Structures are given as structure tokens and as C-alpha cells.
Amino acid sequence: MPEPFAREGHFVVCGLGRFGLLIIELLRAKNLPVLVVTDTHTRADRKKRAEELGATLQEGDFRFPDVLEAACVTRARAVLLAASGESENLETALDIRRSAPRVRIVMRLASDKLAERLRSDFAIDAVLSPSVLAAREITRVALDLPPPELRPGAGGRPAKRFPRPWNVLRPEPRLMVGFLVVMFLAGVAIFRQYKGLSIVDAIYFTATIMTTVGFGDYDLQYDPAWMKLFGSLLMFSGISLIAVLSSFLTNFFLSGSAAQRRAERIARGLRDHVIVCGIGSVGYEVVQDLLERKARIVIVDKTPDDVYLSDLGGRVPVIIGDATHPPTLVRAGIDRARALVAATSDDAINLEMGLVAQSVVEERRPGRPPRLILRCFDPDLATRIHAISDAYTLLSAAEIAAPIFVAHAVGTD
């Protein structure tokens, strides 16, 4: 068992992921004593960095009572549960509260839905969600900051033509439908000309033949052979029409095409809206925060999570597609948007989304670029990009949330 921590009034950080390491850096920057509890599987570079910062390292599972006892949590000033596992954090928080009722506890949680209940029922001092905290800052940047200046040389180029979003039929069905329309019009013309029917009767007779539901009031019994053959062709064409329409309508409604058409129609009517690319934990919280502020929103995602979409209840149009492809952003109305938020968990994809969005807007709306807010995990990447361009704002959920966790721990919140 590790040697007990000798000092009192220290800060215990449970979990040495990237978020936990940021918390240690902030606490040590204030010259506060820190003991970090982490398991043996933690990356060696993070352990080394924590020790370089002056933190005391203790290996073990922080859920175990002997590990907490060795960390002297009963004499600690605060315990920060910074691991990503919610059940482990909650289990440990309850154990600490039972054994050390006066120790300040700051707990990480994926969502803030239960935060108030955990605070009131279990006396946990602060229950915070990095995703929620990051979403508030991302929303503030998306709605409040002035747009960046367009880079020199970006304007004056002709707009590139992108495919129209409503071509949902493949070429073969379009040809089939076109052929059937021609056959219908030909039937109307022939029956009107050679049978002496009025235009209404000719339309009616052609429709009854093509749908094979004739009522016997008109027939081809005494007409020439060529007209009977033409009538037979109309019948086969009608059968094909019913099959094509049935398959198309089934695919249209069951595959989500109808919802996509509706989402694209709504997006075409929006201006000054925010496009959120990626509907994961952070993207979902950003959308919720934007909805609370009554902002107009369009979501873009290749495979949106049904759990998040069901929570949104159809309040936001969702464009299914890859936001790194220009036509997808055009469908979402990037040339009319006030901001784009790239909120996936991949820095490279988020950056690519921002670059593609900037290129599309410069070609379609020179001089009025949207704000481009990119979620970023790599602080070095963010520093490099901010050093050479102000067109992109890179934000990290961990770096936004860590100072707030520390403020709650030291009691300056």
C-alpha cells in the first residue's frame, strides 16, 4: 500500500487523463499541494508530467478505501474526481462524503441533468460537465464575437456551382417516370383524335387503362388493331408505373428521404443561423444551449446518434452528410450562416470542416465569412493556427472546463 500523504489541506485529483492533467497544472500554478491518484495503466508521459509539476503521484484504484485512506482524503482541502467514468466518480464521491463530510468534492459528470439532484441529495459540492461548460463558451463565441476579417485575396472569384440538393431520384427511375408521362400524354392525344373524345374523357379513359381499373364505359372492342395494341402497351406501362411509384414511395419514407427533404427545405429558408457539425456529447450540448437562446440551427452529421436526435424531438433540421464535402455544407446553408461549429472528436476532421467551409463561403459569399469554431484536443495545434490566422477559433472542452473545476475546488467559484 502506498505511503500516506503527510500534509493536510492538499488537493486530491482522481484520474490522470488529459483533463486531470490540466487540473493539476492549474492547481500547481497556484502553488497548491496536489496528490494525484491514478491506476497503473496511465500513460507514462502523463505520470512524468505530473511529477515534473510537483504533484505527488499515487498509483491505485481510487474507488478502494485503502487507496483513499493513503491519499489522506479526510484531511484534504478538496477532492476533484476528474476521471471519465461516471459510475466510478459517483461511487467514490459517496464514499468520501460518508467518511469525510467536510471535504469539498468536485465531481465530473457527462451531463448536468442530475447535477442539482446529486448536490441536494448527496451533498456533493459541485457536479460539473465539461461538455456543458464547453458548449456555453462555444455558443458565446458563435453568437457574440464579431466575424473574423476575410483573408486578403479571397474575394472576387466566381461562385462554384454545386449540385442541387433535391435531385433524389436516380437516373433510371427518372427515365421511367418520363417515359410513362410521355405514354400518358400520347394516349390522351390518340384517344381524343381517333375516338373523338373530349379532353376530359380522353384523360379519364387513359387513366383507367393505365391503372387497369376500367369501368366498362369506354373500351377498344371495335377499334382498329393498332389502337388495341397501343391500349395493351398502356396497360403494361401502367403496371410498371404502379411498381415504380410503390418502390419509390416506400424508399422515400422508410429510408428517411422525406425527413431529409423537409430538413433541406427548412435549411434553405434560414439565414443568420448556426451550423453544428457533429451531434456527439459536445455538439448536443451546443445545440441545446443555442435552442435556449432561441438561435436558428442546422445540424450536419454523417451518422447522427438516435439518442441525441430523439431528445431534440425534431426541433432542429438535420442534414445527413459529410460536412467535409462542399455540397453538404451548401445544403445546410453555409453561405447564409452566421457561424459553423465543428464539434466532432477528431481534430483533423474538425479542421477540414473549417477549411472547406471557408473555401465554400469565399466562393459563394466573398467578404462576409461566418465565424468558424472548431473543437480541438491538441493545444499545440490550436496555438499554431491562432498564431497565423484569426479566421478560426479552436476551443478545447477540457481547457474550458478545467479552470472552472479548479475554481470550485479552491472555493472561488
What pLDDT was estimated at residue 396? 87
| d(C-alpha 218, C-alpha 196), whole Å | 12
For 61-95, what is each residue's pLDDT tens digit?
A: 999 999 999 999 999 999 999 998 889 999 999 99
Q: Which residues on neighbouring strands pair with residue 80, listed in sequence order?
A: 13, 106
Cell of 55: 504533484
pLDDT tens for 185-211 read: 888 888 888 778 888 888 887 788 777
Torsions phi, psi for 220 (to 5 deg): -115, 25
Q: What pTM, to 2 d.p., does this model score? A: 0.65
Cell numbers at residue 239, please? 403496371
| Residue among 375, 391, 362 nearest 160 (CA) | 362
Helix/strand number for the chain, H first, E second: 16, 12
Domains and their CATH numbers in the chain: 11-128 (3.40.50.720), 137-162+257-397 (3.40.50.720), 171-254 (1.10.287.70)
Q: What is the pLDDT of residues 127-157, one digit of tens each?
A: 999 888 888 889 888 886 443 343 333 333 3
Q: What is the mean pLDDT of residues 101-127?
A: 89
Q: Which of 2, 11, 19 shows the shortest CA–CA distance to 397? A: 19
Compute the distance between CA of residue 297 and CA of residue 332 in angstroms, rounded to an integer.
10
**Closest among 93, 131, 81 to 111, alpha carbons compared:** 131
Contact 376, 394 (CB under 8 A): yes
**At 89, which helix (H) or strand (E)?**
helix 86-99
**Mean per-residue pLDDT for 224-250?**
77
Percent of the chain surpassing pLDDT 90:
38
Confidence of residue 170 (pLDDT cuts 50, 70, 90): very low
**pLDDT tens digits along 37-62:** 999 889 999 999 999 999 999 999 99
Residues of the chain with pLDDT > 70: what percent?
85
Cα dihedral: 364, 334, 342, 279 (round 10): -150
Interatomic CA distance for residues 187 and 197, integer angstroms: 11
Q: What DSSP string describes 206-224?
A: HHHHHTT---SSS--TTS-
**The pLDDT of residue 36:** 95
